[in-house]
Amino acid sequence: MSAPLRPHLCVIGAGSAGLTATAAARAVGLSVVLVERDRMGGECLNTGCVPSKALIAAARHAEAVRRAAAFGVDAGPPTVDAPRVFAHVHGAIATIAPHDSAERFRALGATVLAGTARFLDPRTLAVGDIRIAPRRVIVATGSRPAVPDLPGLSSVPFLNNEDVFDLSALPASLVVLGGGPVGLELAQAFSRLGVAVTVATSGRALPRDDREAAAIVAARLRREGVDLREETPALAVRAAPGGVEVDTTAGPVRAERLLVATGRRPAVDDLDLAAGGIAATADGIVVDAALRTSNRRVFAIGDVVAGTPRFTHWAGHQAGLAIRTILTRWPHRENRDALPWATYTDPEIAHVGLREAEARARHGDRVRVVRADFSGNDRAVADGDTEGFVRLVLGPRGRVLGADLVGPGAGETAALVALAIAGRIGVGALAGMVAPYPTLAEAVRRAALGAYAEKLADPLVGGLMRLLVRLQGRG
């Protein structure tokens, strides 16, 4: 066997986290071996964020045709050409793929290996016949669809959030198991494209999101024709004429196709973590606050980490922290207090930072909550899309601690609040912001102004304002 490669860093996994880590490491001059067993770009590019948002975009246009009459435009019902829809989906992937390609990363100076990496011992890995003895390792192998232990599931064909984009035709009907972001995004998209969709979920829809905000999303899906069954666990699955039948606590559901969207599990099966001295649980690799594993030479980032928020943008953030720690040898710790996330249903739903209960646990009665509804936003009124709200959680001295948003463009507007939280900006800066008119982001400013309306209700502040008004009259 030839001598091992001895780079500064070996990155296992070429998804969003691994590619970000590799690019950052090369930017500062570290030698890198990047290993990928499947497709460059990982789940986000090939089977996750990119194809799902491309499908959602196609569905949004179909829905816009249906709603056109409300704006004085008569278009009739949309005609959906499924092959062209999925051609758009795969075209989006193909357009972005060169940015994530092996050729690009070789051009950056990384050594890119195709194959499965496994630990031989705490300091050495193998990819086929190639051995690697790096100074540091970053495990960024991501996650795979979780398959529930459901009687009969293994005996019927079913789709998951990865292979659903390999369809070339739309089924007449679809039953979705799972009411999280993936399940509801795909349920609404397929429904808008003309598929009869039923969703069965064991809890409420979007359980990680604000209950009021999630209820607005759920109500929209139902109005659009999605048969959304909350608190309805699936009990068993069986083949049926023309498709599948799912037994639920509310009775059977029959459809042509079944989509299982019940979460994801860490992709660690082939790594031989025990040989590398790396502790893991069923939820993923165990890390400290600086993303170091029980083997101090090895870091883990992204979906493979136990207990981590499984978002592409957070994986990229973790990649930067890991590279900074490796380069400086000083632990750079993650801080989830400014973490944003969004679900791209219509209306969109987003969250940033602390929830009200979390903020009160830290700051007690110094926490205030202010809100603005999109029904009072001129851009939303002009667009005919006024459902939803912006709710800000404020801490001591008016510092912005968190927000829940639901409505048009909530994911984009959440970025403004995320910046305020990361910059430790007070509500006064948001209230004093000059936003272009009319924009949806004005809802954030309107909510912030609510903090001052509360202050005017205070007897001392109100008395001072009345005094100033009387003094104006004497001038």
| Known binding-site positions | 53, 141-143, 178-185, 263, 303
CB 113 within 8 A of CB 18: no
Task: Give the pair of three-digit tokens for residue 315.
Answer: 């994986």
**The pair of three-digit structure tokens given for residue 226, joined into one six-digit string:** 């999605």
Cα separation, 141 vs 37, whole angstroms = 9
Q: Which residues pair with 266 in a beta bridge?
A: 143
The CA distance from 280 to 51, in Å, is 31
CA distance 33 to 102: 12
Q: Are 285 and 17 in contact (CB under 8 A)?
A: no
Q: What are the residue ranges of helices labelled H in 31-110?
A: 42-46, 49-67, 82-96, 102-107
Binding-site residues for FAD sit at 53, 141-143, 303
| C-alpha–C-alpha distance, residues 161 and 104, integer Å | 27
Q: How far is 80 from 185, CA to CA, in rounded Å?
A: 18
Residue (of 19, 22, 33) closest to 135 by Cα position: 33
Amino acid residing at 184:
L
31 and 9 Cβ atoms separated by less than 8 Å: yes
Largest alpha-carbon pair distance within the chain? 95
Handedness of CA 355, 357, 360, 365 (dihedral sign): positive
Provide the token pair at 155: 């005996």
The rounded distance, in Å, linking the Cα atoms of 291 and 315 is 11
Binding residues for NAD(+): 178-185, 263
In whole angstroms, give the CA distance from residue 315 to residue 295.
Answer: 20
Beta-bridge partners for 246: 237, 253
